Amino acid sequence: MTAPTPPDARLVRTTCPYCAVQCTFDLHIERGLPVKVTPTKDCPVAHGTVCKKGLAALSDVRHPERLTQPLLRKNGELVPVGWAEALAYVRDALTPLLDTRPDAVGVFGSGSLTNEKTYLLGKFARLALKTANIDYNGRYCMASASSALNRSVGYDRGLGFPLADMGSSDLILLVGANIAETLPPIMQYLKAAKDRGGVIYAIDPRATTTAKVAGQHLSPRVGTDGVLALGVLHLMKQWGKIRPTAPAHGMPGVLAQADDYPPARVAHECGIDEADLLTLARRYADAARPLILTGRGAEQHAHGTDTVQAWLNLAFLTGHFGKPGGGYGTLTGQGNGQGGREHGQKNDQLPGARSLKDPRHRAEIAALWGVEDTELPQPGRSAQNLLNACGREIEALIVLGSNPVVSAAGAGQVTENLRALKHLIVIDFLPSETAQLATLVLPGSMWCEEEGTTTNLEGRVQRRRRAITVPGAAREDWRILCDLAAAVGRPQGFTYGTFRELQDEFFLATKGGKADYSGLSAERLDRATAQWPVKSATGPDTPYAYAPTYPTADGLATLHVPSFPLPTPPRQLTLTTGRLGNQYQSGTQTRRNAALKAEATAQIHPDTARDHGLRPGDSVTLRTLHGTATLPVQITPAIRPDTVFLPFHWPQTANLLTDPYTLDPHSHMPAFKGTPVTLMPAHSVAGIPLRPGLTGEVAAT
């Protein structure tokens, strides 16, 4: 017998809390709680598909560890307190610093925040705290592609075309992009392209799930993707295929550089067969609508911007950049990674993708906020530099929706830096590893407990609708930021009566910026999603963002000559890091979800295992200049023999080993990929097990 439907049952349509595809689904609400997720077939992106993570998302909503009241550290322990005591702590902790040295206070945000919270966090840092030091974890994701796009064509929308265009491409190059595990709903577009006869290449040192589906796999050495692009460009020039998309600065220098990258050199440096390079280049030359998509595998390097630049140059010089079904794009990762990098939480940015260094942009936002432009700080430290300064130049840090103890490069050093802070204030809804170090934890809101908008990887803005209220004494994040502004005695500009007031101000703040959302409203987004820029309430959106002319000083693109380091010695093992399909980012939610089980292992090739005396089931100790980690080994032929792969979703694994100091000079991306590594059976290290902890020291048991 079917149970009767509760009288308060209802449906609420909202967006998934995970990746940048931003699938929409209906939440079935009964007795004030969501009980089921139903994918919506009229979703403009996923068309009724939702990955396993999205379907399992409700498990976290009322998790037993959900934070429901403030926690203040007393006598070394985090203990529950009321909001009055929590905000009094904020007042007493921060006010003396803000009165004398505001830049000693830092703010660390997240690519998972809604657009409205991104805007408010940037406003809070610069208006209430008056600190220059704000950045966010998106610096670790698509920052290199963002940098290359901004330098070349004046703005950054990861995909300047609708996702559906992928289905019309006749050649797709996935460069360091494992979308089958990281952006699963996009696989339908790859299938559409293959069904039309298109060829799909996965360019990756591992034969990932994506590579198996793609059908074509090229496995260059870690860090040589940009050299591969130069090799293809060399052949395009040799074969008479240079037909630039539009006039541009810098073309002669880029084409001259390509002369230095003949097939033999490129094959040697990339560690691939010359015949495979020639086949790839011939397919690119013959394609009518070739599409290049880069992911984190190509971008998370100290030369990530140059790698993206090399592929962007190739697309532009062969006449495909900005064309429907072809060109170049970057596959944004985090749920609101696109909107999160547009509206002010970057260290050098103001709302609407304005520049904090541009006098006109400063004046526009200062006028909106009712202050003099001289009161706005200049750009401060980018994310990794901000974390590296904690405990020294930075004495207090406010973290919203991020877990740098797991996600930051050099996580061991970052952890010690956060421990050295006088004040660490974390706003979150689950006790992340970063929250566990805090002096104050403030319970915030989850995705289905708040209103707002998110922007997906194709620049599509969608509504996130509140389905339920926050539990216990938790508060919505935007209200917490307003409470903090009041606590430090600077409430002006943070006294919104309703969320709608904040949202309307946000849309207005983007007007005239490159990322212009000013034509949007909740009502318009109820009718249909829209791809920015949207400049008026009655005007169109912009599905195709990269058609000439460009938002540059003279309307022209500028191509830059990329630079790459010498390849690693042939026998040097290189560490690369990445994601697993059942986990997400630092794992704060997914590691707690019983439906999303996964294991942290070190993936190595059988030849590498044999050389190091490792067998299936053994534990291996990995050592770099930055730390050590010990974990089980997974032996697989689906990886290059010179490469070691670690997932980064767990503490005390991948990012203990990565470099926190070597940054891309343009994007300030840390070198997550390409770290020289040594490994040995865990039982063989001087007879003493290595502590898989923070500093890589040998610890006796």
In a domain, 701, yes or no: no
One-letter amino acid of 275: A
Read off the tokens for 272. 């691939």
> Residues 481, 372: one domain?
yes
> Residues 348, 491: one domain?
yes
Model confidence at 530: pLDDT above 90: yes
In a domain, 47, yes or no: yes
Q: What is the pLDDT of residue 569?
A: 78
Model confidence at 111: pLDDT above 60: yes
Q: How far apart are CA 171 and CA 174, in angstroms?
A: 10
> Residues 165, 310: one domain?
yes
> Residues 37, 93: one domain?
no
Model confidence at 2: pLDDT above 80: no
> Residues 43, 183: one domain?
no
Q: How far apart are CA 106 and CA 423, in angstroms?
A: 10
User: Strand 574-578 to strand 199-203: parallel, antiparallel, or no bridges (unpaired)?
Assistant: unpaired
Q: How far apart are CA 327 and CA 150, in angstroms?
A: 16
> Residues 594, 646: one domain?
yes
Read off the tokens for 102. 């505001």
Q: How far apart are CA 231 and CA 226, in angstroms?
A: 9
Read off the tokens for 520. 């949007």
Higher pLDDT, 521 or 324: 521
Q: What is the pLDDT of residue 4?
A: 62
Distances (CA, A) of 335 to 20, 114, 128, 382, 607: 4, 9, 27, 21, 38
Q: Domain with 25 in it: what CATH number?
A: 2.20.25.90
> Residues 132, 169: one domain?
no
Range of weakest confidence among 430-444, 571-585, 599-613? 571-585
> Among residues 531, 566, 591, which one ends one of the domains?
531
Q: What is the pLDDT of residue 469?
A: 95
pLDDT band at 22 (very low <50, low <70, confident <90, very high): very high
Average the pLDDT over 668-691 and give the result. Answer: 73
Model confidence at 700: pLDDT above 70: no
> Residues 351, 488: one domain?
yes
Q: Using a pLDDT cut of 70, give the percent of the chain over it.
A: 96
As a whole number, the mean pLDDT across the chain is: 93
> Residues 123, 265: one domain?
no
DSSP letters spanning 501-549:
HHHHHHHHHTTTSSS--TT--HHHHHH--EESP--STTS---S---PSS
In a domain, 251, yes or no: yes
Which residues, other chains included, contact 498 with Cβ-Cβ below 8 Å and sequence gap of 6+?
Answer: none
> What total of structural domains would you count in the chain?
4
> Residues 157, 136: one domain?
no
Distances (CA, A) of 511 to 44, 368, 369, 505: 25, 11, 14, 10
Q: How far apart are CA 469 and CA 498, in angstroms?
A: 15
Model confidence at 687: pLDDT above 50: no
Average the pLDDT over 338-358 and give the result. Answer: 96
pLDDT digits (tens, 9 = 90+) for 644-656: 999 988 898 999 9
Model confidence at 3: pLDDT above 70: no
Find the domain containing 19 and state its range: 10-60
Q: Could you give the dihedral angle defined by the CA atoms of residues 280, 281, 283 and 289, in that order, rounded to the nearest 10 degrees?
A: 110
> Residues 135, 148: one domain?
no
pLDDT band at 5 (very low <50, low <70, confident <90, very high): low
Average the pLDDT over 87-108 and give the result. Answer: 98
Q: Domain with 668 in it: what CATH number?
A: 2.40.40.20
Read off the tokens for 202. 């996965």
Q: Domain with 430 in it: what CATH number?
A: 3.40.50.740
In a domain, 693, yes or no: no
In a domain, 480, yes or no: yes
> Residues 168, 286: one domain?
yes
Average the pLDDT over 200-219 and give the result. Answer: 96
Distances (CA, A) of 406 to 47, 413, 520, 588: 33, 11, 36, 9
Q: How far apart are CA 526 and CA 504, in angstroms?
A: 15
pLDDT digits (tens, 9 = 90+) for 307-327: 999 999 999 999 999 998 779
In a domain, 460, yes or no: yes
Model confidence at 668: pLDDT above 90: yes
Q: How far apart are CA 94 and CA 87, in angstroms?
A: 10
Model confidence at 413: pLDDT above 90: yes
Read off the tokens for 334. 């985090």
Average the pLDDT over 334-356 and give the result. Answer: 95
In a domain, 697, yes or no: no
Average the pLDDT over 561-579 and give the result. Answer: 89
> Among residues 276, 299, 330, which one ends one of the domains?
330
Q: What is the pLDDT of residue 585?
A: 86
pLDDT digits (tens, 9 = 90+) for 164-176: 999 999 999 999 9
Model confidence at 691: pLDDT above 70: no
User: Strand 349-350 to strand 215-218: parallel, antiparallel, or no bridges (unpaired)?
Assistant: unpaired
Q: How far apart are CA 484 and CA 91, in angstroms?
A: 8
Distances (CA, A) of 58 to 37, 61, 142, 431, 432: 8, 5, 27, 17, 18
pLDDT digits (tens, 9 = 90+) for 174-197: 999 999 999 999 999 999 999 999
In a domain, 164, yes or no: yes
pTM listed for this prediction: 0.94
Q: Is residue 204 a contact partner of residue 211, using CB atoms and an 8 Å limit?
A: yes
